[in-house]
Every structure is written in structure tokens, then in C-alpha cells.
Structure 1
Amino acid sequence: MDDNNGRTEGSDSDNSDNLLEVRDILNVTRILRSRRRRNHPRPQHNIGLRGHEYIIGILNGHPRNCKDMFQLEVRTFRALCEALRNHNLLRDSIREVTVEEVVGMFCLLVGHGSVHRVVGDRFQHSIETINKYVRRVIKALCEVGRHLIVPTHRDSVHPYISTNCRNYPWFKGCIGAMDGTMMKAVVPAELREAYRNRLGRVSQNVLAIVDFDMKFIFIYTGWEGSAHDARVLHHAASDSQARFPWPPEERTFGVIKERFKIFEVMPGYSVGWQGLIITSCCALRNFIRTVTPDDWIFENSSRFQLPPIELEDGDWTSSSHNIDMTTEASHAMAAIRDEIVISMWEARDGN
């Protein structure tokens, strides 16, 4: 009996020692795993090509890839990057984020309405990095817009008018077509009703003037969707900073909305930044029309140069004009319109 008790006690002691050893091993394993995770964090952006490698692959690959991803021809994309770099509007960063890469981020964002997370995954950067560089491109293109979104043919009649007997001489003073459009907006809840338009959609009312080359010569953003077009026009013409131009049509808005899908899914920037996005896209649109007149067919290989900003007294930058919104002025404008219509009708046979 004593021998059996002794063997039982010895067996219990061995089991206890084994349990202690197993517990010690588990604790050591847990500590090693914790140290491994702490000392060697798993990178999040380690899938596929890095941003700069991806850009090189796109620009040196099939030409269709650049058009599909960035909504630009390869040569137009390169010309845009060269213009932004040469005019010190963008520069390569010390962390090897090139101008081509940040322009690609912006084009992917506005061209497809992609969210920052998708753009970050494509370029293998954090959301914070994407947001920082996209804002820089927006500011750079808005600066370009100061040179490109300006009236053309101010000293002469546009060929579209002068060479068309149906337009000349009745519209010899016309510099373009003016129209407004509703762009989707993201605003705080307390401002949502003010930005809700007559269709019940939250948007901002954008006023623009387009010349006969389908280039924007004036853009005015930031007004609530509930604002009447006449009120937006009156404020634009009265704003000394807006540079309202004094002296083809809705399809231009259709083209820019078709190219830049971001207008259908506007990201959650502040209202001011949303307006800058619209302005930057209009500036980019003018750049494309300047460098690639036929859009996807690059024919003009001449190097693009930013024209200087000309500010002359008494020209289109003057803010001394006032729009007369009275009933008498409306009747007077209707009389002028009717007079033009009658004159055009009488000259319909070329007399």
C-alpha cells in the first residue's frame, strides 16, 4: 500500500512539473510573438507596383492605358507635368514622389470618381499622403486656370462668327455662351437645405462662360443649389475678384462631366475645396483643348507655354459694370432680341 501511495504521489508531482513546463513554453512563445509584431510591423501597402513604378509602366506601356486610367493622352499627360514642373507649381519631393505620380493620383481621383482609399491602394500610399498631394495638384491647376480660363479673341471677331453668314454681323460682339449647371456637393447637415436645388438634390450652382472653341473663359463656383441663376450672375458680375468678362453651349458641361466622374460622386471636402476641384478640372479641360485640340488624337506637337495674365484698365477685368435686373431692362433686352431675330429672318435669303 505504501508503495502504491508513493507511486501516486510521484506521478502527481511529475504531472505538475509537466504542466508548469507547458505553461512556461506558452508564455515564452507569446512573448516572442509579441516582440516580433512590435519590432517587425506588417506593411499595409506592399501589393503590386509602387506609385512611381506604376506611372512608368503606364506612360511607357500601351497608349490606351493612360487614356483609360487618367483620361489623358500620354503626350498630354507628359506636357501637363512638364508645364507644372517648369513653372514651379509642383516639384518632385525628397521622398521620391514625382510630379508624374501626384498628377496621376489627381487624374485617377477626378477621372473615375475614385475614393482616396482606392487611389492609395493603387499607388501604395497612405490616405493622408494621397490627400496631401491631391490638394497640391488642385492648387497648382487653379493657378494654371488664372492663365487659361480667360477670354479669347477680345480684339477681333471669333472665326466661328465672322466666317458664318448666319452669325455675322448680328453676333459680332459675342465672345461665348453663358450657362449654369448644378454640381453635386457634400455639405454639413445644417447647410444641406440651403444647397438643395429645385430637384431636391444637394448641389452647388456653377456659372460658366464658354467660347466657341469649347474652352472655359469664366467659371464661378460656391453658390448654394437653391440660389437663383439671376442672383448668381448678378453677384459674379459685381464681384471685383471674379474678373467677369464683359463685351458652344450646354454640351461643354456635358463633355467635362463625361471626362471627370468626380462630379457625380464628389468627395467630402469642404465647400471651398469642392469649388476648387471644379475650377481645377475646368483648367485641365482647357489645357487638354490647347495641347490636344482633337481630344484623343494628338496632332499639335508644339511645346505648351502659359500665356501671361494681362490686366488692363477698362477691359474685361473691370468691375465698374452693373447688371440692370429691373423690368424695364428685361423689356429692353427682349426688344433687342426681337430686332436681331427680325433682321436675321429678313436676311435669310442672303440679301
Structure 2
Amino acid sequence: MQNCLGALDGTYIKVNVSQTDRPRYRTRKGEVATNVLGVCDTKGDFVFVLAGWEGSAADSCILRDAIARPNWLHVPQEGFLAPYRGQRYHLQEWQGARNAPAAAKEYFNMKHFAARNVIERAFDLLKDRWTILRGKSYYLVQIQCRTILVCCLLHNLINREMTNVDFVDDVDEGDSTYATIGGDDIQFVENSNEWTQLRDDLAAEMFNEWQLHNE
């Protein structure tokens, strides 16, 4: 997807909290975790990370908080490009010749998911590199959140300095609700009529080019 600056998404990382706080940190899968918002560029380097929100918190709430805080997540003028709701989206839905996109909105969603995979791969690689992010920690939650940030910084350093490191292609969709793309009805970043029209025009152009290429 041309001119895409990056992608953002949320992921769960297990934390250790007091018995009183566990209900707030419990995810829909029953794990006690913090819901981490991450933003990465097209190379897979993290450019923004917000850790500490409870596992029960909605991605849309965390994104609003990240944008509202002074000197935190700065959204470029282009804004967020969300997929079409009610249309096929995940990669497995496109497998096989019979499942090829049949309309511009479907094709746009397919390309959107492919572009969004960079943040999924970044999270997968982050957890693969640092065991402390995969298991239950016994530090205070504040220290655990700082550990997450440090691991992200080291992740960026390794990506930039160790060019021979393989980048994983596996996509873990289990915990993701893709806040980046309106998974939790993030209306405040996608209610512009002008931006909606731009997306429609882009979808039609991309679909037409794809059809011509496959004729």
C-alpha cells in the first residue's frame, strides 16, 4: 500500500498484579495481562509503545488515551486508513482461486491486511526474542511495563545494527483486535467524509489495476 507510514495494533503481555487488580487485568481469554499499544514503521521498528493498560481495556480506549496525552502519539495529517467494515479481511479468507476479491472494497481490505502485517510480525519477533515477555513476571507491574519498553528499544537496536537477523513471517491473530483499523469502532479517527471518499477512490483504483493485471 503506497505512502503507508506504518501500522499500529494492540497485543497482550502477561503481568503479575495483586489479587484485587486481577479482574481488571484479565483478558477475554482469562489471562492476566496488560494491553500494549504499539506503533511501528514499515521496517518493523517500534516508534511508539504504550504499556500499562489493563487487559480488559478496549483498544479504542487505549488509542484515544495515547492520542490525547501531550507529547505522545502524534497522528500525521493523513490520519488512519481503516478497512471496510462488514467485508472479508483476514488472509485465510482469500486463499484459493474461488475466494478471490469480487469487489473493490474486498480487494482493499485484502491489501490493507497485508500492509498491517508489519506490526503483527514486529510483536511476534519481540516476544520471540525476549522470554520475559512470554511468561509470567513477578516484578511490580510498573517495572514490568518498563521492561516491555526496554525490550522494544533493544528490538529496534537489533533491527538496525544486525542486518542478518531473520524477520519472522508468522502472524498471531489470537490476541489482536487490530485497534489500528477500527476493530473497536474507533469513530473519532474515521468520521471524516473527505477521508472516506479518498479511501473509496483508492479502493476503486487499486481494484481496477488488479483486474487489468489479471485479465
TM class by shorter-chain length? 0.5 to 0.7
**Aligned twin of 2:28:** 198
Where in structure 2 are the equivalents of 1:169-184 lying within 5 Å?
171-172=2-3, 174-184=4-14
**Aligned twin of 1:281:** 151
**Aligned twin of 1:338:** 200
**Hey, which of these two has a bigger chunk of strand by percent?**
2
Deviation at 1:241, TM superposition (A): 3.9
Say which one has the larger Rg: 1
**Aligned twin of 2:137:** 267
CA, structure 1 residues 211+195, in 2 after alignment: closer, same or farther (shift >3 Å)? same
**Aligned twin of 2:98:** none
Kindly report the root-mean-square deviation, in angstroms, between the aligned alpha carbons of the 2 structures.
2.4
2:191 aligned with 1:329, yes or no? Answer: yes
Runs (5+) with no aligned partner, structure 1:
1-166, 297-323
Match of 1:238 among 48, 65, 68: 68
Corresponding residue pairs, total: 153
Using CA pairs below 8 Å that are at least 6 residues apart, which structure has the higher relative contact order?
2
For 1:87-115, what per-residue CA distance to the aligned partner results, in whole angstroms no more than 9, with x for missing partners?
A: xxxxxxxxxxxxxxxxxxxxxxxxxxxxx
2:16 aligned with 1:189, yes or no? Answer: no
Q: TM-score normalised to the size of structure 2?
A: 0.64
For 1:220-250, what per-residue CA distance to the aligned partner results, in whole angstroms no more than 9, with x for missing partners?
A: 1110000100010010011114243534131
For 1:197-230, what per-residue CA distance to the aligned partner results, in whole angstroms no more than 9, with x for missing partners?
A: 1111111110111111111111111100001000
For 1:149-183, what per-residue CA distance to the aligned partner results, in whole angstroms no more than 9, with x for missing partners?
A: xxxxxxxxxxxxxxxxxx3xxx32x2101111011
For residues 199 and 192 of structure 1, the distance between their equivalents in structure 2, rounded to whole angstroms, comes to 13
Q: What percent of counterpart residues are identical?
A: 32
For residues 132 and 189 of structure 2, the distance between their equivalents in structure 1, rounded to whole angstroms, comes to 40
| Letter of the structure 2 residue corresponding to residue 220 of structure 1 | L
**Aligned twin of 1:291:** 161
Runs (5+) with no aligned partner, structure 2:
78-117, 167-185
CA, structure 1 residues 198+272, in 2 after alignment: closer, same or farther (shift >3 Å)? same
For residues 10 and 192 of structure 2, the distance between their equivalents in structure 1, rounded to whole angstroms, comes to 19
Alignment check: 8 A CA contact 1:266 1:274 kept:
no
2:209 aligned with 1:347, yes or no? Answer: yes
**Hey, which of these two has a bigger chunk of helix by percent?**
1
Aligned-partner SS, 1:343: helix
Where in structure 2 are the equivalents of 1:29-108 lying within 5 Å?
none
CA, structure 1 residues 282+327, in 2 after alignment: closer, same or farther (shift >3 Å)? closer
2:53 aligned with 1:223, yes or no? Answer: yes
Deviation at 1:263, TM superposition (A): 1.2
Q: TM-score normalised to the size of structure 1?
A: 0.40
**Aligned twin of 1:258:** 128
